[in-house]
Structure 1
Amino acid sequence: MNKVLLGSTGMAVSPLIFGSLPLGPLQADMPLEQAGRLLRHALDRGVNMIDTAELYETFGHIRAALKGYNGSCYLVSKTHATDPVTARQHVERALRELCVERLDIVHVHAARVADPFTERAAIIDLLLEMRHEGKIAHVGISTHYISAVRQAARHPEIAVVHPLINREGMGILDGSAQEMAEAIAEVATAGKGVYAMKALAGGNLIAQARQSLRFVRDLPGVHGVAVGMLSETEVDANIALFSDSPLDDGLWRGLEARRRRLKIMERFCVGCGACVEACTNHALSVFDGKARVDEDRCILCGYCAAVCPEFMIRVV
């Protein structure tokens, strides 16, 4: 794959970025060695950036892929902490478990925060401090809000933005897909790197995966797209798509026929409502003492699974 400059960071990245969320316990819970082989396959094929987060619990999966690897790989993590002490712990854990001295990007993981520059100002300051210490190369914002993307365009210290965008606008919390696309173009014009998330709306657009991925890839200002992949077949198919190589129609029709869903193990659900509060898309509710999901609203982000005290929610 040809590489693309990620804004003003100096990083030349593959337009296909490996999103590691599906590998971890919030979704597929893939064994470390198996995940390591899959990630290494992607690296060997030219993918050179892996996206993770404290919430994903995939540091070990990535470490397994990087063991003995001599090529270039940019590593991105995120902290959802609300206080600087915890944020530092998240970054230090990522460094320790990934066995690296510096992370290429660390995002304020602020999907549900409309104004992270106010509500997470202390976290931004902490990440900038760790950048000065040499532990972080670039500071970014991960968000589902158009308003946050627009604010990032005017923030001198934010180098990279990781926005939610898909052609249906599913999961965007304050506007439409068109409005988010306009904000992305604005923030890229300001010199920020942009790599998108949820191009398939967490699997809801998988039946039109090729068109949906191309839509996001081709938006003005988008330098890359993070895609969760669970097989070498998916990796190879996406590399062909992002490289504009000939596509195997039969293979893609098979991939597009698959459907993922949120599974709540009702027998063990205590009806606490923690998942409802965590849902960014108002897809969950508690009815008759049990959590229920509206599959038309669910974007399969897995945030609800991360807060379930009984560990009874999975994306399958």
Structure 2
Amino acid sequence: MKKVLLGSTGMEVSPLIFGSLPMGPLQAAKPPEEGGRLIRYALERGINMIDTAELYENYGHIREALAGYRGRCYLASKTHASDPETARKHVERALRELAVDHLDVVHVHAARIADPLVERRSVIDVLLQMREEGKIAHVGLSSHYICAVRKAAASPDIAVVHPLINHRGMGILDGTAEQMAAAIAEVAEAGKGVYAMKALAGGNLIGEARMSLSYVLGLAGVHGVAVGMLSEREVDANIALFSGAELDPAQWETLESGRRQLKIMERFCKGCGACVPACTNFALSLVDGKARVDEQRCILCGYCAAACPEFIIRVV
């Protein structure tokens, strides 16, 4: 697979980036050995960047994939911490559990914060300090806000931006897909690396996956797209799509026939409400003492599952 420069970072990455969220406990709950085999399969076929996060709880899967691997693989993680002490702990845990001496990118994971450059200033500062310590190569910003992406363009501290974008604009908190696309072009023009998230809106757009992925990949300023994959068949199909190779229509029709949804085991819901503020897209509420999901808003990220103390929410 061809490689592209990720902005001014000097990183030459595959435009298809392995999005590791779906294989962890928030969604498919694959065992680390099984998840590791799939990631290793992708690495050996040319994908050379993995996107993960503290919240995903899947560092063991990635460590399994990297064991004995001699190729270059870039690792990007995220911290959702609101204070510097916790952010440092998140990074140090990632280094320890991944068994690496540094991370290539660590994002300030601030999906629902309109101005993370102000509200997460102390977190950015500690990540910059860890960059000086050699534990982080680049500081990034992960956001669902157009205004946050635009502000990152002017920040000397942010080297990589991980914005939410899909052709329907699902999950964007302050505007349209067209407005986010314009912000992405602006931030890339400023020299930032850009790799997109939620091109399939967390699975809501699986039925039109080829068109949806091609739309995001073709946007000005997008260097790569993180795509969640759970099978070798998905890896092969996406590599073909991102490489401009001839596609197998039958294979894609099968893949696009899949559907995912957020499942709340209502019978066991105690109505504690912990899932509601965890939702990055305001898709959850309590109705008659039970958690309810607005499927029009839900982008199937699974963060609510991590917040549920009863473990009764799952993306399936």
Where on the TM-score scale, by shorter chain, does this alignment land: which range? over 0.9
Aligned pairs for 1:90-101 within 5 A: 90-101=90-101
Check whether the contact 1:4–1:14 (CA below 8 A) recurs between aligned residues. yes
Q: Counterpart of 2:114 in 1: which secondary structure? A: coil
The reply on whether 1:285 has 2:272 as its aligned counterpart is no
Question: For structure 1, which segment, 188-197 or 295-304, has the greater mean C-alpha deviation from structure 2 after superposition?
Answer: 295-304
Q: Counterpart of 1:183 in 2: which secondary structure? A: helix
The runs of 4+ residues in structure 1 deviating greater than 2 Å are none
Provide the C-alpha distance between the structure 2 equivalents of 1:135 and 1:308, rounded to a whole number of angstroms: 32
> Which residues of structure 2 form unaligned runs of 5+?
none
Q: TM-score, normalised by structure 1?
A: 0.99
CA positional deviation for 1:274: 1.7
| Sequence identity (%) | 76
Aligned pairs for 1:221-300 within 5 A: 221-300=221-300
> Could you list the per-position Cα deviations for residues 76-121 of structure 1 after superposition, in whole angstroms to 9, with x for gaps in the alignment?
1000001111100000000000000010000000001111011100
Tell me which amino acid in the other structure corresponds to 2:122: A
Provide the C-alpha distance between the structure 2 equivalents of 1:128 and 1:202, rounded to a whole number of angstroms: 30
Q: Counterpart of 1:128 in 2: which secondary structure? A: helix
The reply on whether 1:88 has 2:74 as its aligned counterpart is no
Tell me which amino acid in the other structure corresponds to 2:90: H
Match of 1:185 in 2: 185
Aligned pairs for 1:296-311 within 5 A: 296-311=296-311
CA positional deviation for 1:287: 1.2
Question: For structure 1, which segment, 283-292 or 216-225, has the greater mean C-alpha deviation from structure 2 after superposition?
Answer: 283-292
Match of 1:105 in 2: 105
Provide the C-alpha distance between the structure 2 equivalents of 1:263 and 1:209, rounded to a whole number of angstroms: 22
Q: Counterpart of 1:309 in 2: which secondary structure? A: coil
Q: TM-score, normalised by structure 2?
A: 0.99
CA positional deviation for 1:309: 1.6
Check whether the contact 1:173–1:280 (CA below 8 A) recurs between aligned residues. no
Provide the C-alpha distance between the structure 2 equivalents of 1:254 and 1:181, rounded to a whole number of angstroms: 30
CA positional deviation for 1:260: 0.5
Q: Counterpart of 2:194 in 1: which secondary structure? A: strand
CA positional deviation for 1:282: 2.2
Provide the C-alpha distance between the structure 2 equivalents of 1:311 and 1:125, rounded to a whole number of angstroms: 34
Check whether the contact 1:282–1:297 (CA below 8 A) recurs between aligned residues. yes
Aligned pairs for 1:110-259 within 5 A: 110-259=110-259
> Could you list the per-position Cα deviations for residues 22-75 of structure 1 after superposition, in whole angstroms to 9, with x for gaps in the alignment?
010000000111111100000000000000000000100000000010001000
CA positional deviation for 1:289: 1.0
> Which residues of structure 1 form unaligned runs of 5+?
none
Match of 1:77 in 2: 77
Provide the C-alpha distance between the structure 1 equivalents of 2:143 and 2:292, rounded to a whole number of angstroms: 25
Check whether the contact 1:284–1:294 (CA below 8 A) recurs between aligned residues. yes
Q: Counterpart of 1:310 in 2: which secondary structure? A: coil
Provide the C-alpha distance between the structure 2 equivalents of 1:226 and 1:158, rounded to a whole number of angstroms: 19
